[in-house]
Chains A and B, each alone.
Chain A
Amino acid sequence: MLIGIRDMAKLFAISVVCCCAVFVCALFMNYNIDIGAVKDEITTPMGMVIYDAVVATGKVVVGVSGGCLAATTVVLLIFYVKNYIDSHGKELGILKALGYSDMRVAGHFWVFGISVFIGTGVGYAGAMGYMPNFYEAQNGEGLFPDIDPEFHLGLAFCMIVLPTVFFMLLSVFYAFFKLKSPVLGLLKESRNVKIKKGKFDDKDLPFLSDLKRNTLKSRKSLVFFVGFSAFCFSAMTQMSMSMNELASDTFSWMIISIGLILAFMTLLMSLTSVVKGNGKTIAMMKVFGYSRRECSGSVLDGYRPVTYIGFIIGTAYQYFLLKIMVDIVFADYEDMPDYSFDFKALAISLVTFIAAYEIILYIFGRKLDRQSVKSIMLE
């Protein structure tokens, strides 16, 4: 098989994202379906009011977290497929040169969808297991009739099979689209490098500043991904802290933990790619005797401003998304929950982000330091 177990293991992050998304969505949707079935048995006016609020909150949580996480998965998956093709250009190019059709090669990429299947499956199973506790917590004041979680086949289908098939097709078609480039383009090692001539080209700048600029210019997809991961980090942590106030107490910690796990996963992934993508350059600089500070200064530091931009956009995005969701769902609900910008969440998120970013890069830097120069170049 073309795509090995080790490549699949790298998709772990996608499984985690899918797992969290399905876990949260399945809990709330299952509950909304089950409680809807016994709606008529709720008699007290107080009960009706709470009922509406609970159902509406469920919709907000599902819409926000499901939508946000689905988008994250799409970006992650496309990034992976692209990365895989870029780094396995030689093998793929040889297959093409031998006469395999694009579709036949691209067909192999369906296996990337397995990670989605595993993630959604585990997430759904986890949700089913946790449901009794969740149902009890949702009915904390005993205003609704006691209900037991039912298994809904249609929901399971939508949560597991649909995403899996969707992401399998996405991988195959994206791979097909990427493989359309000519054989030689795939075979040639440094094919990824397309640098537009810029205004600095004719200036005689020092090597290190040229390097800093070209590192960013030559791998725009990586720059985007790093920015995106900062965006996710900022949106997910702040959103989970803000949603806190919408959800019941038992659940708030869970949402925050999920937000944090996902935030760290995406950040870790993007920084791994940064270090991996620039490992050879750093190795070569080490051979020549450039110090660690010079290496990280010109190769890795360039990404830092990008992360701050991503972080700011993420902050704005989560604010407006939550606000709009709350406005829509609670539109004809008198006691509309007050939703305003959460500065505390922003501060916590920003501090965590900076700390995580610097620590991860520091650890990777140490790891690169210890690795022998030759082993990095051979990879």
Chain B
Amino acid sequence: MIEAREITKFYGQGESRFQVLKNISLTIEDGSFTVILGTSGSGKSTLLNTISALERPDGGNIFYDGEDITALSDSELTRLRRDRIGFIFQQYYLLPNMNVMQNVKMGADLVKPAGNKDYREIIEAVGLGEKLKKYPGELSGGEQQRVSVARALAKKPKILFLDEPTGALDEETGRQVLDYICALQNEYDFTVVMVTHNQNIAEMADTVIKMNSGKISEIYTNDTRKNAYEIGW
């Protein structure tokens, strides 16, 4: 379980210092599917980066299963990310000098004890089986996004953080990728925390957190979850 208490985060200094996260508290249950909704600039990515131990908050605490991770050292945080967390970024951040297969292996090799041998299947599943040897510069935006999805999934994370994973994808591919993520979630029972501005995707979630200029404006739970092919787009 992830619990955030009164998180604050500022950007800038002096005159231009401004508060991106304003006393945010939330709870994310193990194995749940949480969606964070909000307009552009409302602080969704910042919130995601903070609760996922990528950035330190300026105030407040974040607990992973009761352990306060804001008190951990950098190397302890690295360990935590290695053992538990998978990321999919809005801007993909693939390694430009590594091909599709090598990028995915970056995640796969971290699975204990001997790496995830099924990474090729994951690449197939996101529809890139034909492009194993391509470099990111030779791929379209959507294809790069799918590599970054495969890279995170190959790591077999306990918690998967996704920032607009379908932003660059067309409807058909977007649904496929979401469906695949859900299928893997059912199989391995990891936690999903996804940022999106697509209202429809919220219908796939257990819990929806709505953000507005740095604050949570609403939290609600869905009684029934739709799958990736039932939602509108």
Asked if A44 CB lies within 8 Å of chain B CBs, one says no
Contacts of A370 in B (CB 8 A): 74
Q: Are B54 and A193 in contact (CB under 8 A)?
A: no
Asked if A59 CB lies within 8 Å of chain B CBs, one says no
Contacts of B107 in A (CB 8 A): 288
Q: Are B54 and A287 in contact (CB under 8 A)?
A: yes
Contacts of B56 in A (CB 8 A): 372
Contact partner, B109, options A207, A219, A280, A284, Cβ 8 Å:
A207
A-B contact pairs, 12 of them (CB 8 A): A192-B96, A193-B136, A207-B105, A208-B109, A214-B98, A218-B96, A284-B106, A286-B81, A287-B87, A289-B80, A291-B75, A374-B54
Q: Are A188 and B87 in contact (CB under 8 A)?
A: no
Q: How far is the CA of A211 from the CA of B97 in the complex (A)?
A: 8
Asked if B5 CB lies within 8 Å of chain A CBs, one says no
Contacts of A208 in B (CB 8 A): 109
Known: A193-B96, A193-B97, A193-B137. A210 touches B105 (CB 8 A): yes
Q: Provide the A138-156 mask, 1 if CB < 8 A to any CB of B, else 0.
A: 0000000000000000000
Interface of chain A: mostly helix, strand, loop or mixed: helix
Asked if B155 CB lies within 8 Å of chain A CBs, one says yes
Identify the closest chain B residue to A373 (Cβ).
B54
Contacts of B3 in A (CB 8 A): none
Choose among A206, A372, A373 the residue with the greatest number of B CB atoms under 10 Å from its CB.
A373
Q: How far is the CA of A217 from the CA of B95 in the complex (A)?
A: 14
Identify the closest chain A residue to B107 (Cβ).
A288
Contacts of A290 in B (CB 8 A): 78, 82, 110
Distance between B160 CB and nearest chain A CB, rounded to angstroms = 13
Asked if A240 CB lies within 8 Å of chain B CBs, one says no
Q: Are B95 and A211 in contact (CB under 8 A)?
A: yes
Asked if B135 CB lies within 8 Å of chain A CBs, one says yes
Identify the closest chain B residue to A377 (Cβ).
B93
Known: A211-B106, A377-B93. 4 other contacts (CB 8 A): A215-B97, A218-B97, A289-B83, A289-B110
Interface size class of B (residues with CB under 8 A): 20 to 34
Residues from 60 to 94 in B contacting A, C-beta threshold 8 Å: 74-75, 78-83, 85, 87, 91, 93
4 closest Cβ pairs, A-B complex: A289-B82, A190-B96, A218-B97, A190-B137
Binding site for B on A (CB under 8 A): 188-193, 195, 197, 201, 206-208, 210-211, 214-215, 217-219, 280-281, 284-292, 369-370, 372-374, 377
Contacts of A373 in B (CB 8 A): 54-55
Q: Are A289 and B109 in contact (CB under 8 A)?
A: no
Residues from 121 to 145 in B contacting A, C-beta threshold 8 Å: 133, 135-137
Distance between A260 CB and nearest chain B CB, rounded to angstroms = 34
Contacts of A201 in B (CB 8 A): 133
Known: A189-B137, A211-B95. A288 touches B54 (CB 8 A): no
Contacts of A211 in B (CB 8 A): 95, 98, 102, 106
Contact partner, B97, options A195, A197, A287, Cβ 8 Å:
A195
Asked if B108 CB lies within 8 Å of chain A CBs, one says yes
Q: Are B105 and A206 in contact (CB under 8 A)?
A: yes
Contacts of B95 in A (CB 8 A): 211, 281, 284
Contacts of B133 in A (CB 8 A): 197, 201
Q: Are A288 and B82 in contact (CB under 8 A)?
A: yes
